[in-house]
Chains A and B, each alone.
Chain A
Amino acid sequence: MDAGDRVQLPGLDHGVQAVGPSRRADEGRRMSVAASEVQTPPDPTGKKSGFQLPGWAEKGLIPGVVLAIAALLPFIPSIGDKANLMQQMAVALAYVVMALGLNIIVGFAGLLDLGYVAFFAFGAFAVGWFASGHFAYVNDEKGIHFLVSGNTLNLPGIHFNFLIVLVIAIVLTTIAGMIIGLPTLRLRGDYIAIVTLAFGEIIGRLAVNLDETTILGGTPVTAGRQGISPVDRIDLPFFEPFTVLDKKPWYWFALFLVVIVLFVNFRLRDSRMGRAWVALREDEIAAVAMGVPAVKTKLMAYASGAAFGGISGAFLASLLNTVNADQFQFSFSILVLAMVILGGLGSIWGVVIGAIVLSIINNYLIPDVINGVPGDLGLEFDMTQITFAIYGFLLLLMMILRPQGLLPERRHKMELTEHAETTDETLYTARA
């Protein structure tokens, strides 16, 4: 790492060009030139010469301020007192984590995944299996307890500390991601979408149907539509155990997850792996010819995207206090995909905004605002029924009007905005 690399903070240069080793020297020179430009910006007016923040501070300023405001939000009495609002904000942040995970698969690597809910399901089941009374007959109905405190110690079933459950969730979903990734290795485009969709559906059906298959002394594998409930609440070392009534700790924990996931996301994007993903997305044949290992790269995209889905699934299961097979439906995959597309495929901040906007629409706008409209017009009609029609309409409008999303990724040619025109097609449009 030369000085140029360090000053070039995320987002400035992580293009396809930097992948091949033969170009590295040239790239380094180019980057240090760019870096020197950043360090001594041209100063035509002379107004800014008095005070200049270092590059990293300038980059981190807005996110830092937003984060500080977000962290302090529960201290505002009128906001912090409303448990419902806090709960919905925590859910929105969990969606952000999920959308960021899907963004790695679809946005970075260009592998359209329509079965993302499978990863969410594995994360949720990590909680259902390892942090609840589901396996009640284990250890002579005395249960297995590991690093948990309070009332939980007396309950039967398997009870691990939530942080351990998170690790289990990550491991489970990473494996699931690899398995889902394997069949797609030879495929492209629509075919990947179909295989992942089939996997998502299979996992969903298993979650529903495995309630009759028993393991470990007669406990069903899943609780089907009835759901595993209650599950353990988050129990962190040095903190009071989270409670159902006070949603503030949940919100902070979600915020903490988002920050970590964001950090990992930026680092991943700028890493060698991240550039390999982009290279594969842009042109698989060229990337492979330049020495990008296609198998490893694709599997890594699925694995890391899946891990985030698992984290989010585990958190949401604990927050909602249930692991229910009805959560794992195709529409949920589409909801997350809509977040990614709404924000802008591949754009990390865009996806964050997309996830927040859609969860506001989902949890607030449709049930609280729009739902009243038919009633005001004298109609007996429940708007929440057609939530997914609204999403469908949104997807449609988005694709036709602004396919690149709200906050498109700045630097890269994207799957959705690329011009699919070849020379032949130019001829054909010219003659038409």
Chain B
Amino acid sequence: MEAASIPAGPPASQRIKQLIGTYGLTAVLLLLPVIFAINDLSEQGNLVRLGENLVAGLSNGAIWALVAIGYTLVYGIVELINFAHGEIFMIGSFISASLIGTLGLTVDSSFIPVFFGLLVALVVAMIGSGTLNVLIERVAYRPLRNAPKLAPLITAVGMSFILQNVGLLWKGGNQQGVPDLLDAQKTLVTVFGVTIEHADLLSIVVTVPLLIVMTTFINRSRLGKAMRATAQDPEAARLQGINVDTTISLTFLLGGMLAGAAGLIYAMYQTTIWFFQGFTGGLIAFTAAVMGGIGNLRGAVLGGLIIGCIQQMSDNRLGSEWTPAIVFSYLVLIMVFKPSGLLGEQTRDAG
């Protein structure tokens, strides 16, 4: 009886909505890159310019991918948009820049000290940022674990302000230069006319292994299994003997460590650091996380790379002062067309 009264297919309006949901995001995502790509091709008449944009965009995007994973992990496990995450990234930059200064590395340093210096800076920045993130979780988010979602979100914003001001006191209000250890002017290799610089290499050399280790850890290890279980259902996980508190701390530690690594790459890539870089950077990375589907690791990486390319093209075409506005417009458009992102599943909040 009831089955008979259900219409055969969804009504037209529903179908249009579905179509928009399926293809809308793709169209939106591709619109700007396609315009820029056509522009690149028509102006230069060859692929070199497009290729250079892509290389710069991808190595830039690798930074955002690392930060975006922090957002995605934390959101996946405690359903909190960790507003302070961008500031963790900034602190990571500051730690590595200070360490490079302390180690006495300059533009003239030779390869061996630069290599080991960067390695030390990477490790220290990762440990520092990770620990800081864990501490923040202890102080600011854990007391509010059972509170409604608005409360931790607001403490996260408060925390981000505190960290921003820590950065302000640490390095002052102006942009600070970081010695250009990699000498970005010097081309590493030229492929079909497309130059790849040392900084691009650094971003790949750091990001790719980290991502592989990360994915393996989450998919293979016991602790990773516990993380996935907690993300699925904290109560059930606890009933299965998983220590939810430790797992959440671990998640914050991992996210913070990746943000610290991203901070080092950013400092080397841009050769300037700024106390406000975490705010804009954090929002860009968050956009990447949302674009890929928040809570989804691969989505975060994919989103980071796409956002990096968009950012690069916008920098070139419209000027860097317009880039944040473009990225935020993307954020809004994604929210309108497909809040669950490219690879994510529909969540309760994402309508």
Would you give the 0/1 interface string for A192-229, flagging 1 where the beta carbon is closer than 8 Å to chain B? Answer: 01110111011001101100000000000000000000
Kindly state the separation between the CA atoms of A432 and B349 in the bound complex, as whole angstroms: 28
B161 touching A392, Cβ below 8 Å: yes
By a CB distance below 8 angstroms, the chain B residues around A386 are: 165, 168-169
B325 touching A193, Cβ below 8 Å: no
**Residues of chain A at interface, number, CB under 8 A:** 54
**Residues of chain B at interface, number, CB under 8 A:** 52
Q: Pick the interface stretch among B53-61, B140-148, B197-205, B209-217.
A: B140-148
Least distance between B317 CB and chain A CB atoms (Å)? 14
B351 touching A188, Cβ below 8 Å: yes
Kindly state the separation between the CA atoms of A421 and B239 in the bound complex, as whole angstroms: 17
A399 touching B144, Cβ below 8 Å: yes
Can you name the residue of chain B whose Cβ is closest to the Cβ of A331? B161
By a CB distance below 8 angstroms, the chain A residues around B329 are: 198, 202
Kindly state the separation between the CA atoms of A182 and B153 in the bound complex, as whole angstroms: 22
Residue from B146, B162, B235, B351 within 8 A of A396 (CB atoms): B162
A205 touching B235, Cβ below 8 Å: no
Kindly state the separation between the CA atoms of A194 and B80 in the bound complex, as whole angstroms: 12
Kindly state the separation between the CA atoms of A157 and B160 in the bound complex, as whole angstroms: 42
B239 touching A431, Cβ below 8 Å: yes
Least distance between B318 CB and chain A CB atoms (Å)? 9
B238 touching A431, Cβ below 8 Å: yes
By a CB distance below 8 angstroms, the chain A residues around B325 are: 201-202, 205-206, 209
**A112-B150 contact, Cβ under 8 Å, with A187-B351, A202-B328, A391-B158:** yes
Least distance between B28 CB and chain A CB atoms (Å)? 12
B164 beta carbon closer than 8 Å to chain A: yes
A140 beta carbon closer than 8 Å to chain B: no
Q: Pick the interface stretch among A15-23, A247-255, A267-275, A422-430.
A: A422-430
A415 touching B148, Cβ below 8 Å: yes
A286 beta carbon closer than 8 Å to chain B: no
A186 touching B151, Cβ below 8 Å: no
Can you name the residue of chain B whose Cβ is closest to the Cβ of A330? B279
B165 touching A388, Cβ below 8 Å: yes
B331 touching A194, Cβ below 8 Å: yes
Q: Pick the interface stretch among B93-101, B120-128, B265-273, B332-340.
A: B332-340
Kindly state the separation between the CA atoms of A49 and B49 in the bound complex, as whole angstroms: 89
A245 beta carbon closer than 8 Å to chain B: no
Can you name the residue of chain B whose Cβ is closest to the Cβ of A209? B321
Kindly state the separation between the CA atoms of A395 and B83 in the bound complex, as whole angstroms: 13
By a CB distance below 8 angstroms, the chain B residues around A337 are: 154, 157
Least distance between A411 CB and chain B CB atoms (Å)? 18
A194 touching B335, Cβ below 8 Å: yes
Kindly state the separation between the CA atoms of A114 and B164 in the bound complex, as whole angstroms: 17
A396 touching B158, Cβ below 8 Å: yes
B238 touching A400, Cβ below 8 Å: no
A400 touching B239, Cβ below 8 Å: no
A393 beta carbon closer than 8 Å to chain B: yes
B161 touching A191, Cβ below 8 Å: no
Least distance between A341 CB and chain B CB atoms (Å)? 6
Kindly state the separation between the CA atoms of A206 and B339 in the bound complex, as whole angstroms: 24
Among B79, B153, B154: residue with most chain A CB under 10 A: B154
B70 beta carbon closer than 8 Å to chain A: no
By a CB distance below 8 angstroms, the chain B residues around A182 are: 336
Residue from A185, A205, A399 within 8 A of B154 (CB atoms): A399
Among B140, B148, B159, B168: residue with most chain A CB under 10 A: B148
Further contacts, 4 of them, CB under 8 A, given A205-B322, A425-B235: A191-B351, A420-B146, A424-B235, A431-B239
Instruction: List 8 tightest A-B contacts by C-beta distance, closest first.
Output: A392-B161, A395-B158, A186-B351, A389-B165, A428-B235, A392-B158, A205-B325, A198-B328
Interchain residue pairs with CB less than 8 A apart (6): A190-B81, A205-B324, A385-B173, A389-B161, A393-B158, A424-B235
